[in-house]
Each structure stands twice: as C-alpha cells, then as structure tokens.
Amino acid sequence: MEHVVWHESLVNMADRHRANKHRSGVIWFTGLSASGKSTIGHHLEKELFDRRIRSYVLDGDNIRHGINSNLDFSREGRRENLRRIAEVSKLFVDSGIVVLAAFISPYREDRAFVKEIVGTEHFFEVFVKCDLDVCEKRDPKGLYKKARAGIIKNYTGIDSPYEEPENPDIVIETDTVSYTHL
C-alpha cells in the first residue's frame, strides 16, 4: 500500500455537520437473527428521515447480495464481512450520514474491531436482545428450521455462538417490547 495515497477532501466532517444540522455516526444493532435489528433500523430510518436527518440502513442480508457476496459464514468470512461494513460505515460517517447498521455480528472481538475502525466517538452499540426460542418462533426466513435440520451450517444461536455485548450503549428487549413502543 506504499503507493496508495489518501486524498483529503476540501470539505470536512465538521462542515458536513453544519450543513446537515446534525452529527453523523453509526448506530450498530447486534443480536440474533429475527431479533428485530433490521425492523428497528428501518423504522428509525423513517423517523430520522421525517426529521430531515440524513441516515441509511446497512442490513446484513442486503450487504451479502453485493459487496460481500463472495464471503461465507466461517469465522474468517464473518470477520471480513464486518471489516468491510466498518470501512463503508466510516465513509458514510465522514460524509455526514447516520448509519443504522443491522448485523448479527456475533463476536465481541469483531464488534470491538468495528468500533475501532469507525471511531469510538462515532459508534453507538444497541443490543437487540431476544430469547432464542422467540427468534425461532418468528423465523421469517425459515433459517432456524433449516439450521436445526442440518441444512445450514454455522448458524448463529444453533451451531455457532452469539456473544452478548458486555456493555452496550442501550439494550432493547424485543421479546417483551415491539418497535411501536420504542
């Protein structure tokens, strides 16, 4: 990378914050599949949009259709998935946008890595907490059923771990509260 040079913009983050009349950052939703991360993210995006706050949802499934379509769900694949998302999120933050990132991101170490890339001052972790049995009952994509049948391997919560955040900025318990009550 010695021949690659970063080009500084003539417009900085503070300029964008003034123009947008709001600060940028990353709200990182983590939790099991079907816990409600994307649902909350999309409803929050609409609320922010209505308040003229520039925001964008980065969703785990959508990202894997494009920029991360070549990655698997191995430990290494998951880490690279999050590294790329963190780098994209960092660019969005610099551009003045509030990023609503909805990713299972099952490992504490990887979430800490994302926070380091994005910058601690721009990172807000939200643990979307929901019991596994409730997530399995919801199972909108039928993935838990396939994981239990052995059709899908390395499925978080079934045969791959999910490490709950130790000190998230906020916890939303979606097995007891719906997004309409947030």
pLDDT confidence band for 181 (50 / 70 / 90): low
Whether 178 sits among the annotated catalytic residues: the reply is no
Share of the chain above pLDDT 90, in %: 80
Residue 8 lies in a domain: no
CB under 8 A, 24+ apart: contacts of 69-77:
73/153, 73/154, 73/155, 73/160, 74/154, 75/107
115/122 Cα distance (integer angstroms): 8
pTM: predicted TM-score of the whole model, two decimal places: 0.93
Residue 122 lies in a domain: yes
- Which structural domain range is residue 97 located in? 13-174
147/124 Cα distance (integer angstroms): 31
- 39-48: average pLDDT: 97
Residue 7 lies in a domain: no
DSSP H or E run through 46: helix 37-50
Whether the predicted pLDDT of 182 surpasses 60: no
Helix/strand/coil for 116? helix
How many structural domains does the chain have? 1
- 39-53: average pLDDT: 97
Residue 79 lies in a domain: yes
pLDDT of residue 179: 58
Span 54-110, pLDDT tens digits: 999 999 889 899 999 999 888 899 999 999 999 999 999 999 999 999 999 999 999
Mean pLDDT (the chain) is 93
Residue 75 lies in a domain: yes
Residue 49 lies in a domain: yes
pLDDT confidence band for 151 (50 / 70 / 90): very high
Residue with tokens 């097995």, as numbered in its chain:
175
pLDDT of residue 170: 97
Residue 69 lies in a domain: yes
Q: What is the CATH number of the domain that holds 147?
A: 3.40.50.300
Residue 1 lies in a domain: no
- Which residue in 24, 105, 160, 178 is the catalytic one? 105
